[in-house]
Amino acid sequence: MKGLRFPVGCDAAEVAESPAPLRVRLDRCGFSVVSGLKKKSLVAAGALLATHPALDRGDLFASVSGEITEITDDDIVIAAVPSPAEGAVEPPADVPVIEASLAGDGLAAVLKKLGVDTAAFTAACETLIVNGLDPDPGISWAVPLLKSQHACLAAGFGLLGRLSQAQKVVLAVPQGTAASLASFDGVETREVPGEYPAGLDPLVIHAVTGKEAPDNVHAVSLHDLWGLGRVGLTGRPLTETVLTVSDGEYPAHLIVPEGFVAADLLELAKIPLEQGDMLLHDGTMRGAALSSAEWGVRKTTTGLFVLPAGSVAPLDGASACINCGTCVSVCPARLSPGRLSSYAEFGMYDKCRDEGLLACMDCGLCTYVCMARRPVSQYLRMARSVSA
Amino acid sequence: MLLAVSSPPFLHCGRTIRKASFEMLIALAPAAIMAIWHWGMPAARVMALAMLTGILAEALCQKIMRREVHVDDFSVVVSSLLFAFLLPAAAPWWLVVVGTAVAVFLGRMAFGGLGTNPVNTALVGWAMLYISWPGLMDPNSMQLETMYMDPLVRLKFFGASGVQGIGLGELLLGCQIGGLGAAQGLALLAGGLYVLARGLVRWEISASFFIGVLASATLLYGLDPAHNVQPLFHLVTGGTLLGGFFLATEWASSPTGRIPMLIYGLFAGVMVIIIRVYGIYPDGVPFAILLANLVAPLLDGIRPKPFGARR
* CATH classification at residue A44: 2.40.50
Contacts of B308 in chain A (CB under 8 A): 202, 212-213, 333, 359
Mean pLDDT on A308-315? 90
Q: Per-residue pLDDT tens for A181-224?
A: 888 988 999 999 978 899 999 999 999 999 999 999 999 999 99
Enclosing domain of residue A134? 104-234
User: Is B206 within a domain?
Assistant: yes
Q: Same structural domain for residues A138 and A218? A: yes
Q: Same structural domain for residues A71 and A113? A: no
Q: Same structural domain for residues A127 and A160? A: yes
Contacts of B199 in chain A (CB under 8 A): 3, 326
Contacts of B112 in chain A (CB under 8 A): 320
Contacts of B58 in chain A (CB under 8 A): none
- Number of structural domains found in chain B: 1
Please name the residue of chain A whose CA is at the shortest distance from the CA of residue B251: A324
User: Is A245 within a domain?
Assistant: no
Contacts of B6 in chain A (CB under 8 A): 278, 289, 315
User: Is A51 within a domain?
Assistant: yes
**3-class DSSP assignment, residue A365:** helix
Closest partner residue to A289 (CB to CB) among B10, B14, B115 is B10
What distance in Å separates the CA atoms of residue A137 and residue A376, rounded to the nearest whole number?
19
- Are A290 and B5 inside 8 Å of each other by CB? yes
Please name the residue of chain A whose CA is at the shortest distance from the CA of residue B1: A275
What distance in Å separates the CA atoms of residue A219 and residue A129, rounded to the nearest whole number?
5
User: Is A161 within a domain?
Assistant: yes
Closest partner residue to A368 (CB to CB) among B6, B12, B115 is B12
Supply the pLDDT for residue A71: 93
- Are A356 and B113 inside 8 Å of each other by CB? no
| Model ipTM over 0.85 | yes
Closest partner residue to B17 (CB to CB) among A277, A290, A371 is A371
End-to-end Cα spacing for chain A:
31
Contact B15, B165 (CB under 8 A): no
Contact A235, A99 (CB under 8 A): no
Nearest chain B CA: its distance from A348 CA (Å) = 18
Closest partner residue to A323 (CB to CB) among B1, B252, B304 is B252
Contacts of B252 in chain A (CB under 8 A): 322-323
**3-class DSSP assignment, residue A360:** coil
Please name the residue of chain A whose CA is at the shortest distance from the CA of residue B204: A329
Mean pLDDT on A261-289? 92
Q: Nearest CA to B232 among B281, B197, B189, B263? A: B189
Helix axes A104-112, A150-163, angle to 10 degrees: 130
B12 touches chain A (CB under 8 A): yes
Closest partner residue to B307 (CB to CB) among A7, A202, A329 is A202
B308 touches chain A (CB under 8 A): yes
Supply the pLDDT for residue B310: 61
In angstroms, the Cα distances linking A216 to A41, A80, A333, B301 are 47, 45, 20, 33
Q: Is the pLDDT at A83 greater than 60, yes or no?
A: no
Mean pLDDT on A313-322? 90
Closest partner residue to B307 (CB to CB) among A323, A328, A359 is A359
Closest partner residue to B306 (CB to CB) among A285, A334, A377 is A334
Q: Is the pLDDT at A5 greater than 50, yes or no?
A: no
Contact A227, A238 (CB under 8 A): yes
End-to-end Cα spacing for chain B:
53
B45 touches chain A (CB under 8 A): no
Supply the pLDDT for residue B161: 87
- If contacts are CB pairs under 8 Å, which of residues 250-269 in chain B contact chain A? 251-252, 254-257
Mutate to test the interface with B, among A8, A306, A311, A322 (most CBs of B within 10 A): A322
Contacts of A276 in chain B (CB under 8 A): 2-4
- Number of structural domains found in chain A: 3
Contact A220, A120 (CB under 8 A): yes
Does residue A96 or residue B89 have the better pLDDT? B89
> Which amino acid, one-letter code, is at A237?
P
What distance in Å separates the CA atoms of residue B235 and residue B222, rounded to the nearest whole number?
17
- pLDDT tens, chain B, 311 aa long: 899 999 999 999 999 999 999 999 999 999 999 999 999 999 999 999 999 999 999 999 999 999 889 888 899 999 999 999 999 999 999 999 999 999 999 999 999 999 999 999 999 999 999 999 999 999 999 988 888 989 999 999 998 888 888 888 989 998 999 999 999 999 999 999 999 999 999 999 999 999 999 999 999 999 999 889 999 999 999 999 999 999 999 999 999 999 999 999 999 999 999 999 999 999 999 999 999 999 999 999 999 999 988 65
DSSP letter (8 states) at residue A187: -
Q: Is the pLDDT at A180 greater than 60, yes or no?
A: yes
User: Is B50 within a domain?
Assistant: yes
User: Is B307 within a domain?
Assistant: no
What distance in Å separates the CA atoms of residue B64 and residue B57, rounded to the nearest whole number?
11
**3-class DSSP assignment, residue A190:** strand
- Are A285 and B5 inside 8 Å of each other by CB? no
Q: Same structural domain for residues A229 and A112? A: yes
User: Is B3 within a domain?
Assistant: no
Contacts of B249 in chain A (CB under 8 A): none
Nearest chain B CA: its distance from A338 CA (Å) = 10
What distance in Å separates the CA atoms of residue B275 and residue B285, rounded to the nearest whole number?
8
Please name the residue of chain A whose CA is at the shortest distance from the CA of residue B116: A322
Q: Is the pLDDT at A248 greater than 80, yes or no?
A: no
Q: Is the pLDDT at A271 greater than 90, yes or no?
A: no
Q: Same structural domain for residues A177 and A224? A: yes
Q: Is the pLDDT at A331 greater than 90, yes or no?
A: yes
- Are A322 and B115 inside 8 Å of each other by CB? yes
Mean pLDDT on A6-21? 69
- Are B306 and A356 inside 8 Å of each other by CB? yes
- If contacts are CB pairs under 8 Å, which of residues 164-223 in chain B contact chain A? 199, 202
User: Is A290 within a domain?
Assistant: no
User: Is A32 within a domain?
Assistant: yes
Mean pLDDT on A99-109? 87
Q: Is the pLDDT at A4 greater than 80, yes or no?
A: no
Mutate to test the interface with B, among A273, A329, A371 (most CBs of B within 10 A): A371
Q: Dihedrals φ, ψ of A171, to 5°?
A: -105, 120
Q: Cβ neighbours of residue A148 under 8 Å, at least 6 residues apart?
A: A13, A14, A15
Contacts of A283 in chain B (CB under 8 A): 8
Q: Same structural domain for residues A111 and A220? A: yes
Compute how many other C-beta atoms are within 10 angstroms of the C-beta atom of residue A214.
15
**Domain containing B260 — which CATH number?**
1.10.3430
Q: Same structural domain for residues A197 and A152? A: yes
- Out of A216, A234, A252, pick the residue that ends a domain: A234
- Are A313 and B14 inside 8 Å of each other by CB? yes
DSSP output for A234-298: H-S---EEEEEEESSSSEEEEEEETTBBHHHHHHHTT----TT-EEEES-TTT-EEES-TTPBP-
DSSP output for chain B: -PPP---S-----S--HHHHHHHHHHHHHHHHHHHHHHH-HHHHHHHHHHHHHHHHHHHHHHHHTT----GGG-HHHHHHHHHHHHS-TT--HHHHHHHHHHHHHHHTGGGTSTT--SS-HHHHHHHHHHHH-HHHH-HHHH--S-S---HHHHHHHH-GGGGTT--HHHHHTT-S-S-TTTT-HHHHHHHHHHHHHTTSS-HHHHHHHHHHHHHHHHHHHHH-TTTS--HHHHHHSTTHHHIIIIITT-TTTS--SHHHHHHHHHHHHHHHHHHHHHSSSS--HHHHHHHHHHHHHHHTT--PPPTT---
- Are A359 and B11 inside 8 Å of each other by CB? no
Enclosing domain of residue B25? 17-299
Half-sphere exposure of B1 (CA within 13 A, CB side): 15
User: Is B305 within a domain?
Assistant: no
What distance in Å separates the CA atoms of residue A178 and residue A190, rounded to the nearest whole number?
8
Supply the pLDDT for residue A85: 54
Q: Cβ neighbours of residue A26 under 8 Å, at least 6 residues apart?
A: A49, A60, A62, A63, A75, A76, A77, A78, A258, A259, A296
B8 touches chain A (CB under 8 A): yes
User: Is A286 within a domain?
Assistant: no
Size of interface A-B (CB pairs under 8 A): 154
Nearest chain B CA: its distance from A286 CA (Å) = 5
Q: Is the pLDDT at A1 greater than 50, yes or no?
A: no
User: Is B139 within a domain?
Assistant: yes
User: Is A9 within a domain?
Assistant: no
- Across A154-206, the runs of DSSP E, i.e. the strands, are 168-174, 188-192
Nearest chain B CA: its distance from A262 CA (Å) = 13
Q: Per-residue pLDDT tens for A332-341?
A: 999 999 999 9
Closest partner residue to A369 (CB to CB) among B13, B255, B303 is B13
Q: Same structural domain for residues A141 and A226? A: yes
What distance in Å separates the CA atoms of residue B305 and residue B275, rounded to the nearest whole number?
36
- Are B2 and A276 inside 8 Å of each other by CB? yes
Supply the pLDDT for residue A8: 43
Q: Tell me how far apart the 2 most distant CA atoms of chain A are, in Å.
A: 69
User: Is A260 within a domain?
Assistant: no
What distance in Å separates the CA atoms of residue A140 and residue B121, rounded to the nearest whole number?
46
Q: Cβ neighbours of residue A337 under 8 Å, at least 6 residues apart?
A: A327, A328, A331, A360, A366, A376, A377, A380
Contacts of A206 in chain B (CB under 8 A): 307
**Domain containing A149 — which CATH number?**
3.40.50.11540
What pTM, to 2 d.p., does this model score?
A: 0.91
Alpha carbon A244 to its chain's center: 11
